[in-house]
Structure 1
Amino acid sequence: MAYQQILYEVRDRIATITLNRPDALNAWTDVMADEVWQAMHEAERDEAVRVIVLTGAGRAFCAGGDVTGFKSDDPRQLLDKLPRAYDFSRRPDYQGRASYFPSIAKPIIAMLNGATAGLGLVHALFADVRIAADDAVFTTAFARIGLASEYGMAWALRNAVGHASALDLLLSARKVRGDEALRIGLVSQIHPHDKLAEATYAYAREIAELCSPRSTRVLKQQLWELPFQSLHEAVQSDSQAMLDANVCEDFEEGKRAFMEKRPPRFTGR
């Protein structure tokens, strides 16, 4: 489909979704929200895609929500707009306006090329892996403009960095950069700005070429289910997943490739 505020490209089994409002630092709009949702599901359906990269055009990833979209006589509209059909096959927690990334059955890498603030940080936190430029700047933003955490950010932030660091970042709304973002777990990798794309796509290609799509799908689901499981439930779920994996085609191919000392030819089955 044709997109107005994002770019969508598939290459080397990697789908790239680029927020494309560089003059506005990729400020988030309803149009962008709808298009990212469409593109994520397009990539999920495409059997040629094994990894998804989400990034921003220009010098920012996403500097937050477009302030022109804040005007409303009914604050409930901020929660209710862009409703999606409820999917009974997926966890309801991961069907929200920003929190649906965990329900996408392929790894999502947020390539954070610059300012990542407010609603931009919300979406980055629901990605599976965050890789950032060393000069990228992160802030929750809300406390300094009189707002509260939105769309599940507090939950996702605590999940990523722990309770104490999450409170620090939310209460102060201070700016976090490179080394500190890496140290507290806000990002998984940092790279010089001019090497960010090279490093991110090398990582994405490694997953796309060497890892079973079936395994990445199951492993992603296992990790995002953990906040809702007791240890006993996690052990039961993992045990069933391992039994299923032992009789799948990808496991047989993985064993053959290992014995024959060649790259695997996984099908995802």
Structure 2
Amino acid sequence: MAFEHITFEKKNGIATVTLNRPDKLNAWTRIMEREVRSAMEDADSDEAVRVIILTGAGRGFCAGADMDILSGIEDGSQKREPGAVQGTTAYNVAIRADFQTQYSYFPSLSKPVIGAINGPAAGLGMVISLYCDIRFASREAIFMTAFAKRGLIAEHGISWMLPRLIGHSAALDLLLSSRKVTAEEALRLGLVNQVYDADALMPAVNAYAADLAQNVSPRSMAVMKRQVYNAEFQTLNEAVAVGNEEMIKSFASEDFKEGVAHFLEKRPARFTGR
């Protein structure tokens, strides 16, 4: 499939989605939105893919919504597409409706999504980065909510996600001030998992992804990811009950048998995801 605003590669169990408008710091467009979702769903449905990486081309991750889109909304020449607002009717009853809106679908993917934040992530670009499961950043990365300085509000669920990552007060600081946050501060806040020199970012991300793809049960990753996100809506008792039920299912899986076998036989794992 040909893409206009992204590139998409699958290799050695890793799918890499790259926002590809480097001359615009990968500013987000309607085309990019459709292409990213198409690539993500393709990777999620491909049994050969174990991990997904999302990054940006050039010196930016994503500078936010393209200003042509914002200008079009302001003068009324562009309208939000159907499904653009939260509360969209779920299209898959097996997945929480919360994780099926315009940008909140990353948690519904069964594969881990690693954000390789290689440069500025502002506004909508920051929102997209937060929906990644794990974030590694270049020292050149800058995070900025930007909304308040555009006369906007906390869009697309960032008011839900950001406090869960860095806490209530810190989230309000970043939202209200729209100030720039360096990669080092983002690490201190818990906004990112690790920070690397610019030229070391993608090697580190690929090495981490390769370890997951080669040495970890894809079934375990899918179940754990679902548990963690669903637990945000559960009591402790409910989370314990789900964990107990999933453990019983795990004992009957091929990956559990392989997990024991490769450990005892001291050989590389050959997980199937079943």
Fold shared, TM-score > 0.5 on shorter chain: yes
Q: CA deviation at 1:81?
A: 4.5
CA shift, 1:258, in A, is 0.4
1:214 to 215, 219, 227: 219
Task: Find the aligned partners of 1:60 and 1:122 in 2 and give their Cα distance.
Answer: 15
Match for residue 80 of structure 2? 77
- Decide whether the 8 Å contact of 2:143 with 2:183 is kept in 1: no
Q: 1:76 to 1:231 in 2, by over 3 A?
A: farther
Q: Deviation of residue 78 (structure 1)?
A: 6.3
Moved more, 149-158 or 78-87: 78-87
Identity %: 50
Q: Find the residue that maps to 2:192 and give its secondary structure.
A: coil
2: CA distance between counterparts of 1:242 and 1:170?
39
Separation in structure 2 between the aligned mates of residue 198 and residue 231 of structure 1, nearest angstrom:
38
Runs of 5+ consecutive residues of structure 2 not aligned to the other structure: none
2:201 matched to which residue of 1? 196
2:273 counterpart residue number: 268
User: Root-mean-square deviation (CA), in Å?
Assistant: 1.7
Matched, 1:165 2:184: no
Give the AA of the match of 1:137: I
Rounded to whole Å, the distance in 2 between the matches of 1:35 and 1:96 is 16
CA distance in 2, matches of 1:84, 1:55: 29
Question: Which residue does 1:5 correspond to in 2?
Answer: 5
Deviation readout 1:118-159 (Å, 9 max, x if unpaired): 101111101100000012100111111211011101111111
Q: Which runs of 4+ in 1 moved over 6 A?
A: 82-85
- Which residue of the partner structure matches residue 23 of structure 1? 23
Alignment partner of 1:135 is 2:170: no
Q: CA deviation at 1:80?
A: 3.9
Instruction: Give the structure-2-normalised TM-score.
Output: 0.94
SS of structure 1 residue aligned to 2:264: helix
Which residue of 1 is the match for residue 181 of structure 2?
Answer: 176
Shift of 1:86: 1.6
AA aligned opposite 2:49:
V
Scaled by the length of structure 1, the TM-score of the pair is: 0.96
Matched residue SS, 1:7: strand
CA–CA separation in structure 2 for the residues paired with 1:135 and 1:20: 18
Q: Quick check: 1:98 aligned with 2:98?
A: no
In the alignment, does 2:39 pair up with 1:39?
yes
In 2, Cα distance between equivalents of 1:167 and 1:79:
29
What is the DSSP-based 3-state SS (H/G/I as helix, E as strand, rest coil) of the residue aligned with 1:54?
Answer: strand
- Taking a change above 3 Å as real, the CA distance of residues 81 and 99 of structure 1, as seen in their structure-2 partners, is closer
Task: List alignment gaps of at least 5 residues for structure 1.
Answer: none
**Which AA in structure 1 matches 2:80?**
Q
**AA in 2 matched with 1:167:** L
